[in-house]
Amino acid sequence: MTPKGEVTFMASYKLLLLPGDGIGPEVMAEVKKLIAWMNAQGMGTFETEDALVGGSSYDAHKVAVTDATMGLADAADAVIFGAVGGPKWDSVPYDVRPEAGLLRLRKDLALFANLRPAVCYPPLADSSSLKRDVVEGLDIMIVRELTGGVYFGEPKTITDLGNGQKRAVDTQVYDTYEIERISRVAFELARKRRNKVTSMEKRNVMKTGVLWHEVISALHQREFKDVTLEHQLADAGGMQLVRWPKQFDVIVTDNLFGDMLSDVASMLTGSLGMLPSASLGETDPKTGKRKAMYEPVHGSAPDIAGKAMANPIAMITSFGMALRYSFGLATAADLIDKAIAATLAKGLRTADIKSEGAKIVSTSEMGNAILGEIAALAA
Ligand code: IPM
Ligand code: MN
């Protein structure tokens, strides 16, 4: 942030906004307000462009993301993504289902590192289904591998066996380099946090688990001996996550386990509506830049879409992660976190995090309140 009157040169950044389906556009609207405010304050110079993704893209173009939109995503400094999917598109062909748009963005932009922080704001400790002392003050980071594993492994088929039976195959594949680069991200993050990494796989039944364990252990020995490395089988890890989550600092795991474990972790924070994420590519050694997409972990929530009930916090904190990881604006990102804590402390809640005595507010009322707190804190 710049004190008023000081003249600075601020780089201009291009953001591609992909609101998507369901509550996606509703929560994205709150981020748009924040971007406009930051631009007006001189806290950033963001140029934004909107495009379709998911079901809304399918309706307009018969694909979940167009080549033109992929081009915009590739050229942007960061992509800010809402959510995709809904019952309306249940019967569209598999290759063009809404989720295919999201998966193509992740794969084609090579966003292999998915950071999913689970932070329990103190006023929300009672919104969790777990006891207050289990979640109060929780701050963990799930690092999910995002471009490999069973999501993308080939073959991926359903074959008619001709005898009234069909056979479905998904393939879990990991190469050494994929395990190594995601492990490196986890170790480097841990060094800036509480210096502990827990690796989760199922080496007791899966070859990919055996390799995962071998590769991360070797990397640890070679480059990260100063970081504590623990291993848990992914099923036991899921249990530990709800038994005593504060034992964790950084959890690193594959694409599918990471998908499941991060949904579990979201309830530690009070609601799925609280979890942001950053999906990052490799840093280009020449430019120092990396491709990045920021999206809330929650989906399109078709059941509450259009009702102004959605919680915009995960979308807003996802933008906060963009400020932190893509634009080096950590102070502004901290400001957003503080503003959210202050808004929650005043008793404002969207329906998903309601508690006794709290004031239930709409999506835009929550967004406005947070923006008000940001402005007050920045003044
Ligand atoms: C997520 C979502 C996606 C995933 C879906 C929408 C394809 O659940 O980001 O966690 O499975 O990765
Ligand atoms: Mn998921």
> Is the pLDDT score of 52 beyond 60?
yes
Catalytic option among 50, 139, 170, 263: 263
Contact between residue 112 and residue 65 where contact means Cβ atoms under 8 Å apart: no
> Is the pLDDT score of 10 beyond 70?
no
Write the pLDDT tens digit of every residue in 318-346.
999 999 999 999 999 999 999 999 999 99
Binned at pLDDT 50, 70 and 90, residue 41 comes out as very high
Look at the alpha carbons of 31, 33, 36, 42 in this order and tell me if their dihedral is positive or negative.
Answer: negative
The ligand placed nearest to the CA atom of residue 263 is 2
Catalytic option among 235, 338, 346, 359: 235
Of the candidates 36, 95, 80, 154, the residue with the CA atom closest to the CA atom of residue 320: 80
Write the pLDDT tens digit of every residue in 193-239.
999 999 999 999 999 999 999 999 999 999 999 999 999 999 999 99
Write the pLDDT tens digit of every residue in 255-307.
999 999 999 999 999 889 999 999 999 999 999 899 999 999 999 999 999 99
Q: Is the pTM of this model over 0.85?
A: yes
Q: Which tokens sit at 272?
A: 């799925």
- Which residue matches tokens 């969207």? 350
Check if 175 is active-site. no
35-49 exposure pattern, b = at least 16 Cβ within 10 A, e = fewer: beebbeeebbebebe
Q: Which tokens sit at 377?
A: 């804190």
Look at the alpha carbons of 60, 294, 239, 149 in this order and tell me if their dihedral is positive or negative.
Answer: positive
Q: Which tokens sit at 335?
A: 């400001």
- Atom of ligand 1 lying closest to residue 84 CA: 6
Binned at pLDDT 50, 70 and 90, residue 127 comes out as confident
Ligand 1, atom 11: closest residue by C-alpha: 259
Ligand 1, atom 9: closest residue by C-alpha: 297
- Percentage of the chain exceeding pLDDT 90: 93
Catalytic option among 21, 121, 174, 202: 202
Catalytic option among 259, 291, 325, 352: 259
Ligand 1, atom 12: closest residue by C-alpha: 259
- Percentage of the chain exceeding pLDDT 70: 97
Check if 151 is active-site. yes
The confidence score (pLDDT) of residue 17 equals 98
Listed in sequence order, the residues at least 6 apart from 341 whose beta carbon sits closer than 8 Å to its beta carbon are 121, 122, 123
Q: Please tell me the distance between residue 259's alpha carbon and the centre of ligand 1 in angstroms.
A: 7
Report the mean per-residue pLDDT for the chain.
96
- Which residue matches tokens 């906060």? 320
Edge-first strand order for the sheet with 78-83 is 45-50, 12-20, 78-83, 292-294, 278-280, 113-119, 139-145, 250-253, 196-201, 228-233
In angstroms, the Cα distances linking 53 to 83, 178, 307, 342 are 9, 27, 21, 33
> Is the pLDDT score of 4 beyond 80?
no
> Is the pLDDT score of 1 beyond 80?
no
> Is the pLDDT score of 253 beyond 80?
yes
Lining ligand 1 with CB less than 6 A are 99, 102, 259, 297, 299
Check if 156 is active-site. no
The confidence score (pLDDT) of residue 156 equals 97
The confidence score (pLDDT) of residue 355 equals 87
Separation CA 155–CA 160 (nearest Å): 15
The confidence score (pLDDT) of residue 126 equals 87
The partner residues of 49 in beta bridges, in order of sequence, read 16
Binned at pLDDT 50, 70 and 90, residue 8 comes out as low
Contact between residue 157 and residue 302 where contact means Cβ atoms under 8 Å apart: no
Write the pLDDT tens digit of every residue in 177-206.
999 999 999 999 999 999 999 999 999 999
Residue 45 φ then ψ, to 5°: -125, 95
Of the candidates 100, 134, 97, 95, the residue with the CA atom closest to the CA atom of residue 118: 134
Alpha helices, H only, the chain? 24-41, 55-61, 67-75, 98-108, 132-135, 176-191, 207-223, 234-243, 255-266, 313-325, 330-345, 363-378
Separation CA 236–CA 333 (nearest Å): 34
Ligand 1, atom 4: closest residue by C-alpha: 259
Alpha-carbon Rg of the chain, whole angstroms? 21
Q: Which of 114, 147, 259 to mutate to test the pocket of ligand 1 (most atoms within 8 A of CB)?
A: 259
Q: Which of 21, 95, 102 to mutate to test the pocket of ligand 1 (most atoms within 8 A of CB)?
A: 102
